[in-house]
A and B are shown apart, each in its own frame.
Chain A
Amino acid sequence: GQNIDQPTEMTATEGAIVQINCTYQTSGFNGLFWYQQHAGEAPTFLSYNVLDGLEEKGRFSSFLSRSKGYSYLLLKELQMKDSASYLCAVTSGGSYIPTFGRGTSLIVHP
């Protein structure tokens, strides 16, 4: 089976930087996704990591360390619209079907 852990909730200030961590335990790791989900809406894809290191995409970056079973999503220059749930999801064992973590609810305040 897979075990994926994320903090339940985080708060941050507009304009700041926040790092959302995700740890996982799985056999045969393939890749890790980050999705953003605003309340009552569908999840939308943010990033995909398969190799160790940092992937940067505008204000959002995602990091992966396969040896540590660890990833983080870094959000810079936070905006109020970044208030959402951030879901970490892992594929493993040759399957293309991701397993989702419980999600981290990020609250950005002025």
Chain B
Amino acid sequence: DTEVTQTPKHLVMGMTNKKSLKCEQHMGHRAMYWYKQKAKKPPELMFVYSYEKLSINESVPSRFSPECPNSSLLNLHLHALQPEDSALYLCASSQDRQGWGYEQYFGPGTRLTVT
């Protein structure tokens, strides 16, 4: 199984709502990532988890709160978002090492619209 799944596919939320994005992989990957992607731009790294511990936070506003409940699951909790946070949110996983066969696998993304 080389699949990364994400739910929901689409999400519309108001600025006062609280919602969560979910990501799951069963490839035994120990590194998991959240990216934000705006149209016609490359993915922008937000968070990296390594062995279920947060290892990188790219100065992301606190209205985004990541969580890694176990080695297969990654959540992104959203609260009090702004319209400019509307984007495609991608989850990815990989082995926590570099070299052949250690590429990232991406989920299909959640298209988030903040109204």
Please list the residues of chain A having a beta carbon within 8 angstroms of any beta carbon in chain B: 30-31, 33, 40-45, 48, 50, 85, 87, 91, 94-98, 100-103, 105
Further 11 A-B residue pairs, CB within 8 A, beyond A33-B103, A98-B104: A40-B109, A40-B111, A41-B108, A42-B4, A42-B109, A45-B103, A45-B104, A45-B105, A91-B98, A96-B98, A97-B45
Contact B99 A50 (CB under 8 A): yes
CB < 8 Å: which of B31, B43, B98, B102 contacts A43? B43
A-B contact pairs, 19 of them (CB 8 A): A31-B99, A33-B103, A40-B109, A41-B109, A42-B4, A42-B108, A43-B104, A43-B106, A45-B105, A48-B100, A87-B42, A91-B98, A96-B31, A96-B94, A96-B96, A97-B56, A100-B42, A100-B43, A105-B40
8 smallest CB-CB distances across A and B, nearest first, come from A42-B106, A100-B42, A45-B103, A96-B98, A103-B42, A43-B106, A30-B98, A91-B98
- Chain A CB within 8 A of B88 CB: yes
Q: Which residues of A contact B96 (CB under 8 A)?
A: 96
A92 to chain B, nearest CB (A): 9
Please list the residues of chain B having a beta carbon within 8 angstroms of any beta carbon in chain A: 4, 31, 33, 40-43, 45, 48, 56, 88, 90, 94-100, 102-109, 111
**Bound state CA distance, A67 and B41, in angstroms?**
28
**Bound state CA distance, A44 and B42, in angstroms?**
13
Do A42 and B90 contact each other (CB < 8 Å), given the known contacts A96-B95, A102-B42, A103-B42? yes
